[in-house]
Structure 1
């Protein structure tokens, strides 16, 4: 599946325990998402700040165009499974 077909984008950064928890909970379903490291992509970091009151709060997950800050893993997994 190409990145343009993926409807879930997960913004994350190394060392983030919440990001690790999400990745572990998603298991293989997580491969269907696009993962973007905000420490390697300035535009991604700016986007995360824009939807989190200026904070680089991760994971920020965009599902079908709607951002979710640190969503419950079940929400993300449900969308990836559909």
Structure 2
């Protein structure tokens, strides 16, 4: 390889790392307040998933979820997305 190829590979790997960090931040903060740390995010997920299990059929219809979809999401552990 010549020096130019090495530079391109190095820059490309840095761009991938930055893109991965941004994507992870976007996923982790999905529908959660921005100022939450990791444990705050876990607590938020736990509470909202429990609340999802308690919704009535009319409320689920309002948000566009079936009972099965709500159950599947509500029973996920708090550490999973």
TM-score, scaled to structure 1: 0.24
The structure where strand makes up a greater share of residues is: 1
Q: Which has the larger radius of gyration?
A: 2
Larger relative CO (CA 8 A, sep 6+): 1 or 2?
1
The structure where helix makes up a greater share of residues is: 2
